[in-house]
């Protein structure tokens, strides 16, 4: 102690890189904005899917909208509780994939879960963007012919935002999420207080009854409406992106999502039943409910624009979940290892780019048609739901913690309901496009299995995990330096080569005898103490003569390195002015020989 000051132990503080530290992870509210927007925004097309399924029995059948929605809400509650348990059991993320791998055992279940989740995430992006374009066209019919362009523009913007990291995108999405929730809750509250709709939009369409309102039709409506449950699993898949305590924050976000989504679904269903809202041309069901609550003035247009924006941004759920899932697959050797690499910011950029490309291809293939995408969309979701809940049933039965029977009943009930909904949707929508998922999921499982087999064979060949034999010791080594003329570049290369190997030889390829003689004379005058071999090439080939030379030199078993000097300009705009023969030579040598190939840069000052 000195001058009344206690001695303190000083610890060096290392500055964090971008993306490190708790500030770059999500709070509960940021998680709700970044990972739940897909589920919340599904109120724009989930209730409409129910109405479209029921209206084939006539407008009178729309009274069944509320009971069907209540059944879906009960399933939602079971799923929310289930995924809260998934979060606690699997805090490293992965959702259905992690559950299947750990609790169901075997390779098939985990591969099926992974394939279904990838399909689900890609379709989430496509459906959200297409539904957003539909909402925009409801407010501005002139844009109906530019839906694909609107979708691709929104996809490009969302990709750029997510390449900066999930946290930045969460902050961007916070305000639109709050405004969207306020707008939808306002539609419900104001609509319930009105005795009749304030305004009617769209063109009336005849709705003759083609079917009777029976059990099969109700099951169709239930399975179609379950598209509103998509995105519930995204929070469980992205637990590592939350701040500590991660499990508690992720569970809190999951329960907030369930409460908000259930409230909005039931409220909209009550309005649809009371006002007998049937499909009309050029507008969505949600647009009709908005007009019924706010009228067709500025509030109607503002709400539709907000719905459009949120639907375009709802694809962010996939950008937050799929790259994390792909990183888990890469660590399990079921995807290329580059998907496990993270940039300085906390984002798996290869996964983000792959998701964007797949979603763009799907939008182009379907011309951004929401009704063509939804049958593909929901099946993958139900597969993931069922696997996740079956895995937890087995987990509780195996571990048997306190209250495990109650938890197993909840998960088992959810598994039965999601299996039933998935089967009904598959059977009723098979010819409408669901067959694509039936083909895509097994193909993706095969791809994962083949990649895993490749990495397994590579591991055996490299004897990973085993102590290797002592390295071979070579008494001599040879460094070959391809050169074109005597210059400062040659001095730079020869000096580096002498520091690398026991013997150095310079090699030049010349097609003109006069130039060969001039080069020999210049070399003798310089006399660097290194042998120069000049190869005649009448056909003016540069690469192949050097490759042949290296192959002959390698026949005596010596360690050989080829040192290729390369000029690098200071400014990138001058790179096109440099020849690329060095890069071409290096590529061919790596493909045809086993020698060490080194690129030696010589950086210019201009």
Task: Quick: pLDDT tens for 250-302.
Answer: 889 889 999 999 999 999 999 998 888 888 877 888 888 988 888 888 888 88
367/144 Cα distance (integer angstroms): 12
Does 493 lie in the same domain as 347? no
Rg over CA atoms, the chain: 32
Point out which residues pair with 602 in neighbouring strands.
Answer: 567
Domain containing 564 equals 477-603
Task: Kindly report whether the global pTM for this prediction surpasses the value 0.75.
Answer: no
494/350 Cα distance (integer angstroms): 40
Mean pLDDT of 502-506: 88
Mean pLDDT of 557-565: 87
Mean pLDDT of 357-365: 91
In a domain, 98, yes or no: no
553: CB partners within 8 A, 6+ apart: 478, 480, 560
393/400 Cα distance (integer angstroms): 10
pLDDT for position 207: 67
At residue 340 the predicted structure's pLDDT band, cuts being 50, 70 and 90, is confident
* Between 247 and 94, residue with greater pLDDT: 247
pLDDT at 421 over 90: no
Whole-number Cα distances in Å, 244 to 84, 248, 321, 375: 16, 8, 18, 38
Neighbours of 230 (CB within 10 A): 30
pLDDT at 196 over 90: no
Both structure tokens of 542: 């540069």
Asked if residue 79 lies in contact with residue 414, where contact means CB atoms within 8 angstroms, the answer is: yes
- Cα torsion 478, 481, 485, 488: sign: negative
Residue 562 phi, psi dihedral angles, 5° rounding: -110, 115
Dihedral angle of Cα 131, 31, 322, 222, to the nearest 10 degrees: -50
Mean pLDDT of 392-396: 82
% residues pLDDT > 90 (the chain): 11
Q: Mapping DSSP to helix (H, G, I), strand (E, B) and coil, where does residue 566 land? A: strand
- Choose one of 368, 391, 418: the last residue of a domain: 368
pLDDT for position 95: 63
pLDDT at 1 over 50: no
Mean pLDDT of 462-469: 74
pLDDT for position 21: 47
In a domain, 99, yes or no: no
pLDDT at 473 over 50: yes
Mean pLDDT of 496-514: 87
In a domain, 106, yes or no: no
- Choose one of 320, 338, 368: the last residue of a domain: 368
Q: Which residue in this structure is represented by tokens 């899932």?
A: 325
pLDDT at 127 over 70: yes
23/539 Cα distance (integer angstroms): 63
At residue 2 the predicted structure's pLDDT band, cuts being 50, 70 and 90, is very low
At residue 3 the predicted structure's pLDDT band, cuts being 50, 70 and 90, is very low
pLDDT at 92 over 50: yes
Does 352 lie in the same domain as 225? yes
User: 442-476 b/e with 16+ CB inside 10 Å = b?
Assistant: eebbeebeebbeebeeeeeeeeeeeeeeeeeeeee
Does 220 lie in the same domain as 356? yes
Q: Mapping DSSP to helix (H, G, I), strand (E, B) and coil, where does residue 536 land? A: strand
pLDDT for position 13: 45
261/506 Cα distance (integer angstroms): 73
323/349 Cα distance (integer angstroms): 8
In a domain, 386, yes or no: no
At residue 169 the predicted structure's pLDDT band, cuts being 50, 70 and 90, is low
Residue 505 phi, psi dihedral angles, 5° rounding: -135, 135
Does 492 lie in the same domain as 363? no
Q: Domain count for the chain, please give it.
A: 2
* Between 306 and 281, residue with greater pLDDT: 306
* Between 493 and 427, residue with greater pLDDT: 493
pLDDT for position 23: 53
577/488 Cα distance (integer angstroms): 19
* Helices (H), ranges, 435-568: 435-462, 488-500, 513-526, 543-553
State which H helix or E strand residue 568 sits in: strand 559-568
Mean pLDDT of 549-567: 86
527/374 Cα distance (integer angstroms): 76
Nearest to 41 by CA among 359, 419, 318: 318
Nearest to 257 by CA among 31, 74, 66, 24: 31
pLDDT at 7 over 50: no
In a domain, 192, yes or no: yes
- Choose one of 326, 345, 368: the last residue of a domain: 368
Asked if residue 51 lies in contact with residue 273, where contact means CB atoms within 8 angstroms, the answer is: no
In a domain, 422, yes or no: no
Q: Which residue in this structure is represented by tokens 């994939």?
A: 97
In a domain, 413, yes or no: no
Both structure tokens of 395: 């987990």
Burial of 588 from C-beta contacts in 10 A (0-12 / 13-18 / 19+):
middle
376/486 Cα distance (integer angstroms): 66
523/486 Cα distance (integer angstroms): 7
pLDDT for position 11: 45
In a domain, 198, yes or no: yes
Strand (E) positions, 33-150? Answer: none
Among 94-98, 146-150, 165-169, 462-466, which is the least confidently predicted range?
165-169
Nearest to 581 by CA among 564, 594, 606: 564
Nearest to 225 by CA among 328, 59, 76: 76
Average pLDDT, the chain: 81
Q: Which residue in this structure is represented by tokens 């697959």?
A: 329
At residue 475 the predicted structure's pLDDT band, cuts being 50, 70 and 90, is low
* Between 2 and 163, residue with greater pLDDT: 163
Does 355 lie in the same domain as 494? no
* Between 316 and 155, residue with greater pLDDT: 155
Whole-number Cα distances in Å, 282 to 126, 138, 141, 142, 601: 21, 6, 7, 11, 62
Does 488 lie in the same domain as 361? no
226/254 Cα distance (integer angstroms): 18
CATH at 511: 3.40.50.620
604: CB partners within 8 A, 6+ apart: 567, 568, 569, 570
């Amino acid at each position: 102690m000195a001058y009344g000051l206690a001695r303190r132990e000083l610890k060096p503080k290392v500055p964090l890189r971008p993306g490190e530290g708790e500030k770059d992870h999500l709070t509960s509210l940021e998680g709700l904005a970044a990972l739940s927007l897909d589920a919340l925004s599904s109120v724009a097309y989930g209730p409409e899917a129910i109405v479209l399924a029921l209206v084939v029995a006539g407008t009178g059948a729309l009274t069944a909208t509320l009971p069907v929605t209540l059944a879906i809400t009960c399933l939602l509650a079971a799923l929310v509780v289930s995924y809260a348990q998934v979060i606690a059991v699997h805090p490293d993320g992965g959702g259905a994939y992690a559950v299947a791998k750990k609790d169901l055992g075997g390779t098939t279940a985990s591969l099926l879960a992974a394939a279904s989740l990838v399909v689900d995430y890609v379709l989430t992006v496509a459906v959200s963007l297409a539904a957003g374009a539909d909402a925009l066209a409801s407010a501005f019919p002139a844009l109906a012919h530019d839906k694909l362009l609107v979708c691709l523009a929104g996809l490009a913007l969302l990709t750029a935002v997510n390449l900066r990291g999930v946290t930045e995108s969460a902050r961007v999405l916070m305000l639109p999420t709050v405004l969207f929730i306020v707008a939808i809750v306002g539609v419900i509250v104001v609509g319930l207080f009105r005795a009749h709709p304030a305004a009617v939009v769209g063109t009336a369409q005849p709705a003759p009854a083609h079917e009777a309102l029976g059990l099969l039709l109700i099951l169709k409506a239930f399975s179609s409406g379950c598209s509103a449950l998509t995105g519930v699993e995204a929070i469980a898949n992205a637990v590592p992106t939350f701040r500590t305590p991660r499990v508690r924050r992720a569970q809190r976000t999951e329960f907030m999502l369930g409460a908000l989504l259930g409230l909005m679904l039931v409220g909209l269903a009550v309005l649809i039943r009371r006002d007998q809202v049937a499909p009309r041309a050029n507008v969505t069901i949600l647009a009709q409910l908005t007009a019924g609550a706010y009228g067709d003035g500025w509030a109607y247009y503002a709400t539709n624009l907000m719905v459009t924006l949120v639907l375009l941004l709802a694809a962010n759920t996939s950008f937050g979940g799929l790259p994390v899932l792909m990183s888990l697959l890469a660590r399990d050797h079921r995807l290329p290892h580059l998907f496990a690499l993270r940039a300085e910011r906390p984002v798996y950029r290869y996964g983000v780019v792959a998701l964007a490309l797949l979603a763009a291809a799907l939008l182009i293939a379907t011309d951004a048609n929401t009704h063509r995408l939804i049958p593909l969309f929901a099946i993958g979701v139900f597969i993931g739901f069922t696997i996740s809940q079956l895995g937890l049933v087995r987990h509780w039965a195996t571990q048997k913690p306190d209250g495990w029977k109650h938890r197993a009943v909840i998960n088992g009930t959810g598994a039965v309901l999601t299996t039933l909904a998935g089967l009904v949707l598959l059977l009723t929508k098979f010819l409408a496009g669901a067959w694509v998922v039936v083909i895509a999921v097994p193909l993706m499982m095969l791809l994962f299995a083949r990649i895993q087999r490749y990495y397994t064979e590579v591991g055996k060949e490299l004897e990973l995990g085993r102590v290797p034999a002592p390295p071979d010791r070579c008494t001599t080594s040879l460094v070959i330096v391809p050169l074109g003329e005597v210059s400062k570049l040659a001095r730079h290369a020869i000096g580096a080569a002498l520091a690398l190997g026991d013997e150095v030889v310079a090699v030049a390829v010349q097609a003109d005898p006069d130039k060969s003689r001039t080069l020999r004379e210049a070399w003798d005058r310089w006399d660097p103490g290194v042998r120069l071999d000049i190869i005649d090439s009448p056909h003016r080939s540069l690469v192949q003569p050097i490759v042949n030379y290296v192959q002959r030199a390698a026949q005596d078993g010596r360690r050989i390195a080829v040192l290729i000097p390369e000029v690098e300009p200071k400014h990138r705009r001058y790179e096109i002015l440099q020849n690329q023969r060095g890069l071409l030579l290096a590529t061919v040598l790596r493909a045809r020989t086993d020698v060490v190939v080194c690129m030696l840069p010589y950086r210019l000052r201009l």
